[in-house]
Chain A
């Protein structure tokens, strides 16, 4: 299925499962078209491996249009590759040149153990969201949508934070493997909106506590997360989270468990 004329050398991390040690294996990717996405290039490699009855390279992927947050490759020193504001599935081979060697690694974080090859377990993110990334409103209990007035600038700002796709590139990029950009994006989104106010100070405590429990590193405001985030979530979110957290801890009555009525 050669449709192009790029030939590349891939150094790919192969690891059978979380218990076994992994290593880099070198593959040739031949006849690659520059119109292919990075994942389609890997598809080509996998097809040829399959034909030889070798095990194809495992990587997480799904929507292939940059929104589901599944794909997660660390390519030549960049999460989601060298281009700004896109995910791996949106990275096209025209970004690379013929003959290039590309090193592909999984996200590296104690909180994201490798499950196979380039796929990692990011369920820590879900657990953080479960700890408090919500507004407690039961179905059917809502008032008319237009009864809550939200200034456009606030709605837009909340939206910007809400665009996080939970891919984990922030953790992968951070020299400390910190998850604070991810965590703060949700805290900021809900903390800016009027609907999120009642639980604002309990939420931040609950989510930060869970984040700490998962074993992510700390933030040193380096900004690598912001630079690599495919949705361009800004570092300001982290500052907002810090502010809410200190307000909550030092000046507010709410506890983390006030969030969901005890635990």
Chain B
């Protein structure tokens, strides 16, 4: 099977406009004859549901949370990029495109990324019109801040809660359509399978999380906007409920999974304190605008800090190593996330880490507080400082924050073409759920941009083309495929409920996380990955023998929900390791120790690996098959990324 990304021909800047013109349209009167299923109500899902309903389609929207407003986009902190050039600092659509391609270590499609940069400006307009209260300057104009991997200020923000404000904007647009009857909202409903008829997606199977009822829903198209799979690492900045189940079950129904090994480890998170920890908390990248990252120059000083014999403030200036400023003078503390993370790990590996575990470096605001005053710093980052204080019981106004990298975002996901369609016709993927436009590393403040771009400005055009092609004939809800898929889901759930072993699902999850972090985290090797693969296979076998799943199906059963999600994570974990093994190069967030420059930076192998890995599910316990989509670069020159 060959993968056609359907990137339009022609000059980069004209691809999207030409493509939009070439896409088929659905007659306004016919739109109401189409049913569209959208799973997930984060930025991508909610914006798509609202926009498609506005066009006239009948939308059925699903989320597992008790309200669409609780999707994890809500937790994004720092901001959203847009090439508005309001700051007159030389930004442009092309520069945003270029920064994103380069930031992604040249493993993203030119056409997609350019489109993303192009529509970024519309997103800001749309959100402001919805009443999203972005930060303003005294003159009433929008304010911007800087983010990693770029030298312009193009990030729009709402204090440290940009994701919340954008999501509530999309949620309000969704609410308006629910009110108008164009969207039917299903909360506390989890998608457990895709129904395909003749190879086309025609519906989904869901479980009502309040009653346990397994239901089927039919639609002309199924759009997945179900987020990323960072929780495969157990500990991540994702919400506890964030899961891969919808995407994974779609994968098992034929949708290819692309670049699963590309995970983003965010450099500034609150370090782990113990095994009890259920999640990690991010400290926004925006903090690196004013915070300076450092570690002690010597192991001796680090040891004293670890044993709490001295405090950070007692470390003299010449005993400190501001390693990002030293190594990358032009970007300084604002290097991309993968670079910052790797350097923090390096410090800890050298024994120069701080905190009781030695797995942390400092993010210091002393200089910023001196320069700007504590009040200004509080106005900019107050809620983040408070959050840090709540968790650590340490006051970041008085002592530097301790930070360490943590899993944050997954660049991989369901393979989609330029139209956001997976290889299964009628099945689409948007936002973090698809393998997206970020290549091997996502720049800060670009996830919100991509989610909203997909939902507001891409899918409303591209979906119409498919719908016009298949025609408005109603989907046959009595087709045996619906009942068959439903019965398979029931059987699978019963299998889970029959597990009455001696180890909790959470324990399996934690174990999986340890394996993934150890062998498929910030540094990966052939040997480690091979070992991990064996461990995961064994874990899977053990899970299906010894796990405990309490309760029944016909009730609220969080244990069953978690069990299904962890079972999928285990399978995904194995695929991630397989993908990481196959990609014998380093790029962005995927760092193979065997492939690095003399300075220890990620060394790509463009000759052999300038492609998207798209994996095909071949059956339970079968090795997946790799399909390659070659990446073609016509506009940017592939080079070793440098932020020096």
- B142 contacts A145, CB within 8 Å? yes
Stretch in contact with the other chain, from A97-105, A134-142, A213-221, A241-249 = A134-142
Which residue, B131, B134, B278, B281, has most C-beta atoms of chain A within 10 A? Answer: B131
- A136 contacts B75, CB within 8 Å? no
B157-188 contact mask (Cβ, 8 Å, vs A): 1 or 0: 01101011100100111011011100001010
- A39 contacts B387, CB within 8 Å? no
Residues of chain B contacted by A56 (CB below 8 angstroms) = 550, 558-559
Complex: A138 Cα to B241 Cα, angstroms: 31
B538 on the interface (CB 8 Å rule)? no
The residue of chain B having its C-beta at the shortest distance from the C-beta of A145 within the complex is B128
- A163 contacts B164, CB within 8 Å? yes
Residues of chain B contacted by A92 (CB below 8 angstroms) = 390-391, 393
Which residue, B70, B165, B276, has most C-beta atoms of chain A within 10 A? Answer: B276
- B558 contacts A145, CB within 8 Å? no
- A37 contacts B278, CB within 8 Å? yes
Which residue, A63, A115, A148, A196, has most C-beta atoms of chain B within 10 A? Answer: A63
Residues of chain B contacted by A4 (CB below 8 angstroms) = 276
CB distance from A229 to the nearest CB of B (A): 14
CB distance from B557 to the nearest CB of A (A): 9
- A50 contacts B504, CB within 8 Å? yes
Residues of chain A contacted by B70 (CB below 8 angstroms) = 62-63, 68-70, 166
B128-139 contact mask (Cβ, 8 Å, vs A): 1 or 0: 111111111111
> Would A65 and B168 be within 8 Å (CB), given that A51-B502, A55-B551 are in contact?
no
Residues of chain A contacted by B137 (CB below 8 angstroms) = 152
Chain B stretch 259-318: residues in CB contact (< 8 A) with chain A: 273-279, 281-282
> Would A40 and B278 be within 8 Å (CB), given that A63-B239, A142-B129, A145-B84 are in contact?
yes
- A129 contacts B161, CB within 8 Å? no
Residues of chain A contacted by B505 (CB below 8 angstroms) = 50
The residue of chain B having its C-beta at the shortest distance from the C-beta of A160 within the complex is B133
Count of chain A residues with a beta carbon within 8 Å of a chain B beta carbon: 83
CB distance from A234 to the nearest CB of B (A): 16
Stretch in contact with the other chain, from B61-69, B102-110, B331-339, B416-424 = B61-69
- A43 contacts B274, CB within 8 Å? no
CB distance from A85 to the nearest CB of B (A): 8
Complex: A70 Cα to B558 Cα, angstroms: 14
A202-228 contact mask (Cβ, 8 Å, vs B): 1 or 0: 000000000000000000000000000
21 sample A-B contacts, Cβ–Cβ < 8 Å, listed by A number: A3-B274, A33-B273, A35-B276, A43-B276, A56-B559, A64-B239, A64-B240, A66-B390, A67-B164, A94-B393, A122-B66, A133-B172, A134-B172, A134-B175, A135-B172, A141-B129, A146-B84, A156-B136, A162-B133, A189-B133, A195-B128
- Which A residues are closer than 8 A to B by beta carbons? 1, 3-4, 16-17, 33, 35-37, 39-40, 43-44, 47, 49-51, 53-56, 58, 60-70, 85-86, 90, 92, 94, 115-116, 119, 121-123, 125-126, 129-146, 148-152, 155-156, 158-159, 162-163, 165-166, 189-190, 193, 195-196, 260
Besides A66-B387, A140-B126, A140-B456, 19 other A-B contacts (C-beta < 8 A) = A33-B273, A37-B391, A39-B278, A44-B276, A60-B66, A66-B390, A68-B75, A122-B66, A130-B176, A130-B178, A134-B131, A134-B172, A139-B50, A142-B125, A145-B142, A146-B86, A162-B165, A166-B70, A193-B131
